[in-house]
Amino acid sequence: MLTLEQYEKLNPVCELSANGASVKYFTPNTMTKWRVDSLFEKEPVTMEWIAGFRDTDILVDVGANVGMYSVWAAATRGARVYAFEPESQNYATLNRNIVLNRLDGKVTAYCLALSDQFEYNELHLSAFEIGGSCHSFAERVDFKHEPLTPAYSQGCVSARLDDLVAGGVLPVPDHIKIDVDGIEPKVVAGALQTVKQLRVRSLLIEINQNLRDHRDLVSELQSLGFSYSSAQVAAAERRDGPFKGVAEYVFQR
């Protein structure tokens, strides 16, 4: 039996090292521990993308979850990061990871959903757990655009990236990462003026190739002067399971 004082001191943390940098993550449950254990295997394309950042680069991370990539980019590459995560428990853990790594001057987190309009609505959770994903803002649909019965729905606010940049909340970034399990096209629609800025050199977006609006998004970004590697997408594509057809696309100018 633990005393209350002993319980309060429990602070499960995992530590990873790369290129001389040490990165810590708070791991209060099996989901967050899995995220640490699978960091290099789950999305190798994302890790390779971050490895190319310069220490003067600015990253906007949309759908940051508990900050696995936001913290990694700041700690190992010296990037300045603006992280957006609306889910309450993930947001709290994201901030805890920022503090653990003493990155409060490098990573700024906002408890905010990004979409194509400013709106008060609800975030529908697939599961109520730290590190959980596949949540949906506003519509009760999953990442396949199919009906979702949420485990819990919390109040939430959305904003447009264009409005945040125009309002001086953050500068035009060098890189944008978007992984929001379904509404990626809406996030880009609310960021078009920003994306058109030549400073934006790359975007990494999770694309569900089974969905027409996601396929249309790929064509739209190409029309704006971005290109991607078919070989890179093929290597990232999930070949089976519930996420079959989903892949990270790295768009570059």
CATH number at residue 154: 3.40.50.150
pLDDT tens for 73-106 read 999 999 999 999 999 999 999 999 999 999 999 9
Confidence at 1, pLDDT banded by 50, 70, 90: confident
Number of structural domains, the chain? 1
Residue 220 counted as domain residue: yes
Give the count of beta carbons closer than 10 Å to the beta carbon of residue 5. Answer: 7
The pLDDT of residue 21 is above 80? yes
Pairing between β-strand 113-114 and β-strand 136-137 as defined by DSSP bridges: unpaired
The per-residue b/e assignment along 18-35, b for 16 or more CB within 10 angstroms, e otherwise, is eeeeebbbbbbeebbeeb
Residue 5 counted as domain residue: no
Q: State the residue range of the domain holding 109.
A: 12-252
CA distance 65 to 125: 13
Can you say how many angstroms the Cα of residue 119 is from the centroid of all Cα atoms in its chain?
20
68 Cβ contact partners less than 8 Å away, ≥ 6 residues apart: 25, 35, 36, 39
The pLDDT of residue 7 is above 80? yes
What are the E-state strand segments in 87-228? 107-110, 113-114, 119-125, 136-137, 152-159, 175-178, 202-208
pLDDT tens for 115-147 read 999 999 999 999 999 999 999 999 999 999 999
For residues 28, 34, 37, 41, the Cα torsion angle rounded to the nearest 10 degrees is: -150
Give the tokens for residue 208: 């569900």
pLDDT of 119: 97
Give the count of beta carbons closer than 10 Å to the beta carbon of residue 212. Answer: 9
Residue 42 counted as domain residue: yes
Tell me the average pLDDT of the chain.
Answer: 97
Residue 197 counted as domain residue: yes
The amino acid occupying position 17 is: S
